[in-house]
Chain A
Amino acid sequence: MLSILVCIKQVPDTQKAVFDPRTGVIDRSGTENIMNPDDLHALEMALSLKDEYGASVTAITMGPPQAADVLNEAHALGVDRCVLVSDQRFAGSDSLVTSKVLSRAIVKLGAYDIIVTGREAIDGNTAHVGFQLSEFLQIPLLAQIHKFKINKDSAIIERLYGHEYQKIQVRLPVLIVVGKHANRVRIPRLADIKTCTDKKIIVMTMNDIGGTEEEYGAAGSPTVVIETEIFSHKRGKEILSGDMNEIIDILVHRLKKHNILRY
């Protein structure tokens, strides 16, 4: 049977979050935590593969004890096993260390065929972890997945790559990165919502995954945040004037520059 691992993350609901205008950082005290939206699509990808081919699906998250909430939600959706990688010594880890922690926990959990991650988390928006994880585990990675089929020990993947549509065959194990366009996330049954908190969550600490304290947390993280700015989205308006052919040329040039037109 296929073994599928899905990396998920608990994040503050940034759509409802309040930002401190001075530091540009989210005020986490009054912000509700949710499962990262892309990760729901990663779970759905794994669960639909389970429906089609039969598989054991494991959801894994690194975070504080309350991150168990997203694992409960994963249980409600139909995941077979949930793992919380949690240790005070991991606090302050950047994306590189997070990937290191996850990769070591995954190796400890045993053999796997497919790892699925969401494209990016809405709190950091780095979109690093999937890529770094594939490096640590030394397995191929494919992103922007739409369809995923299994053929013996290979996966046949369809994806949108820029403006191209690609079909790729890759030997398992593989890591795939999915975004919100990959699928429609199922709604869990009420019965599964009711029982999801009764299900066991496996907890792993630094002692379980190995390594030294210096490798993890803020100490092990090379990333330094120099400044945070609140992103603002402004719409601009510009009226092109002059000869119609010139205007068209300018417009086509601009659209190409912004990768809206490619050919």
Chain B
Amino acid sequence: MIQKNIRRFASEVLEEWANVLDRDSKPLPPHVVREMGRLNIWGIQAPAQYGGAGLDTVGYSIVIEEISRVSAAVGLGVSVHNSVCLAPLLKFGTPEQVERFVPDLASGKKIGGFTVTEPQAGSDAASIQSTAVSDGDHYILNGQKTFVTNGGIGDVFLTAATVDTRKKAKGLALFIVEKSMDGFEVGKIEDMMGMRGNMVSELFFNNVRVPRENVLGSTEDGFRISMQTLDMGRIGIAAQALGIGTAAFEAAARYAMERKQFDRPVGTFQAVSFKLADMKTHLDAARLLIYRAANLKDRSLPYSAESAMCKLYASTTAMQACMEALQIFGGYGYVKDLPVERFFRDAKITEIYEGTSEIMKIIIGNEIIKQFGRL
């Protein structure tokens, strides 16, 4: 029922915006954001008492896949808001922080983000340069963040900064920073290849005074919370990649049955049907990897490696599916009149953000070393 209804929302409401957001690089209009709030899309896993839907992670993955199947940019915004802003607030926040921030985020009245990446700190998250200096009841935040999903429209950002540069990872803390705070500034909105409907931006913190009660967890917890948060976020990105790949596959399959060359649908040529068979098989496998990671998380079992595996596999699959779909569409896949070229551009980033494919392999590799080293 979740899939059927979110699919309906995506096709009846989102679809008409998907190309516009991409073409004009602009965010969803407020009335659509509000409607998504009514449907609990901004609070997929938040408990009902805070205005969320209280779904499990499998349900969450289905929602993200279905939205991304129509608009990956919207899927990205929803995924990041839910899984790397709301989820860590709910998991690591104090009761006061939850009461203060969750209801507005779960209803979509406020949009959330999560910022670790800096010009010099990408995969090496522990080398963050942003600083937070204790000053009585506050911390004074200074620094710059890049590639912040929802940056241009967000209201609440979980922001990583170092309270002690000598301690590297152990010196990192996460702060709940609000757009309304003095010294908070949105920088350049990135002119991106894909995901153009998400206002990914730079953020600047110039002597932002963040109250002590806005520290998430303890001041030594930032790195640990960030890494756990990214485990969750990766399921969302995997679901997003799956949505893009599925959209590309479905478009290609439909086209292959309609497009005739040499007096028969091109899909009946083995060269094309084998491509479609591969796409479908890999997409279904990716879906099962995602559900496995989601199910482990829902049962409170370790899922770090499984989350990395589903993200690695789903993003590679999405990219491959988009390449093959474009090939099946031929010249029509290369023009902006049809959405396949958008799927292609949107898919690429899923191999990069929330940890690159290479970082995923490190996580999976470390897990293997841990497991087999014990034997």
Number of A-B contacts (CB under 8 A): 42
Most buried by A among B8, B9, B40: B40
Please count how many residues in chain A sit with their CB below 8 Å of the partner chain's CB atoms: 12
B1 within 8 A of A: yes
- Asked if residues A190 and B9 are in contact (CB atoms below 8 Å), the reply is no
Q: Quick one: which of B1-44 are within 8 Å of A by CB?
A: 1-2, 5-6, 8-9, 12, 38-41, 44
CB of A187 within 8 A of CB of B39, answer: yes
Expressed in whole angstroms, the Cα–Cα distance for A224 and B158 within the complex equals 68
Judging by beta carbons under 8 Å apart, are A187 and B54 in contact? no
Interface string of B39-61 (1 = CB under 8 A from A): 11100100010001111000100
A87 contacts partner chain B, Cβ-Cβ < 8 Å? no
Q: Are A191 and B5 in contact (CB under 8 A)?
A: no
Q: Nearest residue in B to A197 (C-beta to C-beta)?
A: B1
- Bound-state CA distance A195–B38 (Å) is 16
Contact B5 A187 (CB under 8 A): yes
Specify the main secondary structure of chain B where it touches its partner: helix
CB distance from B74 to the nearest CB of A (A): 15
> Known contacts being A187-B8, A187-B9, is A193 close to B38, with CB within 8 Å?
no
Q: Which residues of A contact B48 (CB under 8 A)?
A: 191, 194-195
Q: Does residue A5 face the partner (Cβ distance < 8 Å to B)?
A: no
Q: Contacts of B38 on A, CB cut-off 8 Å?
A: 189
Q: How far is the CB of B53 from chain A (nearest CB, A)?
A: 3
Known interface pairs A73-B1, A196-B1. Does A190 touch B40 (Cβ–Cβ under 8 Å)? yes
Q: Across the two chains, which residue of chain A brings its CB closest to B48?
A: A191
Query: Given A189-B38, A189-B40, A189-B53, does the pair A76, B8 have CB atoms closer than 8 Å?
Result: no
Q: List 8 A-B contacts (CB under 8 A).
A: A188-B5, A189-B39, A190-B40, A190-B44, A191-B40, A191-B54, A194-B55, A196-B1
- For the complex, is B242 an interface residue (Cβ under 8 Å from A)? no
Residues on A close to B: CB < 8 A? 72-73, 76, 187-191, 193-196
CB-CB < 8 A to B252: which residues of A?
Answer: none
The 0/1 profile, CB within 8 Å of A marked 1, for residues 81-99 of chain B is 0000000000000000000
Q: Does B325 lie at the interface of the complex (its beta carbon under 8 Å from any beta carbon of A)?
A: no
- Report the separation of the CA atoms of residues A7 and B345 in the bound assembly, to the nearest whole angstrom: 48
CB distance from B67 to the nearest CB of A (A): 12
CB distance from B35 to the nearest CB of A (A): 9
* Complex CA distance for A194 and B44, rounded to whole angstroms: 10
CB distance from B81 to the nearest CB of A (A): 14
In the complex, what residues of B have CB within 8 A of residue A196's CB?
A: 1
CB pair A190–B41 under 8 Å, yes or no, is yes
Q: A87 CB to closest chain B CB, in angstroms?
A: 26
Q: Is there contact, CB below 8 Å, between B53 and A191?
A: yes
List B contacts of A73 (CB < 8 A): 1
